[in-house]
Structure 1
Amino acid sequence: MNIGIMGAMTEEISQLLQHISETGRETRGMREYVSGTLRGKKVTIVFSRWGKVAAASTATTLIERYGVNYLIFTGVAGAMDQDLHVGDIVIADTLIQHDMNASALPGIERHEIPLLGISSFKVDSRHTDSARLAAESYLSENLTTDIDADTLHAFHIHTPRVVTGTIASGDQFIADNQSALALREQIPALKCVEMEGAAVAQVAHEHGIPYLVIRTISDKANESAAIDFPRFIDKVASRFTCGSVLRLLDLIQHEGSAD
């Protein structure tokens, strides 16, 4: 198995790179791809940059250039489900491109990907179950030793949860109540919103390989969304990502288990 790990933030990538047994680095398309072994698994780690095009380009390079046959994308997201709070982790079981709309054409539904004939991408439950177990294990065993009490208090993180559900992606940073309300009306089951996951899902779908999207809630996708965002990424999300991904790799027992 060859696993591609993509991060939406450089801080998350740097945390993971501290654990890799590196075998090579290569810059392609303005991105640095770091290959090696992580938790006994062959991996390539890369900062994808933001947005659907950037994520899709990076995912394609991982598959075509580095022979990746399993994609993991991780980053932060804005909560759409009002029961979610900063620090909760969402594992995608369904991904939708919320800004895809070719419904003006006959026979095409809103969110449907033209020529694919589907409006959402489903994630194999074997992989979501493993990701959820990994994230829950990290939070229960390492949260208070990995992140200091003052930081947890500053972001009102007490007992973060791990949930599985629908994630929507679009080339917008949602930071106002009106946009958030519109998305909730369009996609009632929506858990959170971000800018890359569904694009990675489409690339993986078209290449016939498994994938996971793991997101840490950083904000409520409203007018307060940008407050302390850099600090949250550095002090909280990067550690959640690293701890959860390392434990996930431990759960991947042998080559072919993600087929």
Structure 2
Amino acid sequence: MKTSLKALGLLAILLTVVVISGFGSSNADGGNSSSEQEDATKPVAVQGAMDVEVSALLDEMEDYKTEQQGGYTFYVGEIDDIPVVVSRTEVGMVHAAASTTLLIDEYEPKAIINQGTAGGHNPNIHVFDTIIGTEVMNIGSIKTDHLDDEKGMEPDSWHFMKTQMREDGDIKEVASFKSDPELVEKAWNVKEKYGYGNVVKGKIGSADVWNREIDRIQWFHEKAGTDAEEMEAASVAQVAEGFDIPYLSIRTISNSEVTNDGIEDLEKAGQYGAEFAIEVVKEIGK
């Protein structure tokens, strides 16, 4: 009887070791196979604020499922067998932040590409050129010094405010949000596939303002170093950073007050930018 109990005890230990070993098994390359499989099923998220900024993506997916979360729309499908969720964020910083939070909570994307159209700030970047945003900044967050009544305004004294983020319980201040370097590299890898203008790296400014005053545009370009402006990217980047999701900004110039292009075409710029985002998705999926 004692021998049988001892044998059963040894058998139980062996079974426990086998089960524990199974949970920690790795593939031949030293990675955790279950973790890699899980990551492969996570979608790449591509955002556009308007229909003109997402229609080319939907055409590329062809077969997709439309899902509604409150006032925000998500299209779930594939591009070249790569799981993709396209998010129509709607226009503006609050819409972009809300839809991005829903996107992360509902679909757990492995990367977020925020793309669309923008107005030019840089006189060397023209309509239909596309900017790979290496960083984005909230240019609507401004502090002014006190001036008495009837003393007017002094834009030269305005200060850009930093965004406060909490990390491991501590507050940190962020002047601008950097795009994920690997995603920037992948976008840069496919720049030759863009046929409508130049592809450049640059800085994107975001705010709920459409600036058409040339002096004001030049002020942003000089003081903040922005190459273009739009109304979503910085809030998306802020939410993505808060949830530790890799992020990339891509913007195609639809109009510019500081060049002599004489073109303002939101529809074409939206189409061209989305087509470039498709190539980036394919590069990410390699």
**Take 1:81 and 1:223, find their aligned partners in 2: how far apart are those partners?**
8
Quote the residue 1:150 is aligned against. none
Work out whether 1:252 is the aligned partner of 2:268. no
1:195-239 CA distance string (max 9 Å, x none): 1111111111111011111111111146999x864xx232x2233
Is the radius of gyration larger for structure 1 or structure 2?
2
**Matched residue, 2:266:** 233
SS at match of 1:209: coil
Identify the match of residue 206 of structure 2 among 169, 173, 180. Answer: 169
**Paired-residue identity, %:** 27
1:157-212 residue CA offsets vs partner (Å, 9 max, x unmatched): xxx2111011111110111113212212321x321111111111111111101111
- Aligned counterpart, 2:87: 46
Report the alpha carbon displacement of residue 51 of structure 1 after superposing the two structures with TM.
1.0
CA contact (8 A) 1:166 1:190 kept: yes
Matched, 1:83 2:124: yes
Question: Which residue pairs with 1:133 in the alignment?
Answer: 189
Provide the rounded CA distance (Å) in 2 between the counterparts of 1:3 and 1:170: 25
**Number of aligned pairs?**
226
Unaligned runs of at least 5 residues, structure 1: 144-159, 255-259
Q: TM-score, normalised by structure 1?
A: 0.79
Q: Identify the structure with bigger relative contact order (alpha carbons < 8 Å, sequence gap 6+).
A: 1
Q: 1:233 to 1:114 in 2, by over 3 A?
A: same
Distance in 1 (CA, whole Å) between partners of 2:161 and 2:136 is 10
1:7 corresponds to which residue? Answer: 48
Deviations 1:145-165 (A, max 9, x none): xxxxxxxxxxxxxxx211101
Shift of 1:103: 7.6
How large is the RMSD of aligned CA atoms in angstroms?
2.3
CA pair 240-7 structure 1, distance change in 2 beyond 3 A: same
Secondary structure of 1:68's partner? coil
Deviation at 1:23, TM superposition (A): 4.7
Structure 1 runs (4+) deviating above 2 angstroms are 21-24, 101-104, 132-136, 221-225
- List gaps (5 residues or longer) in structure 2: 1-41, 146-158, 166-171
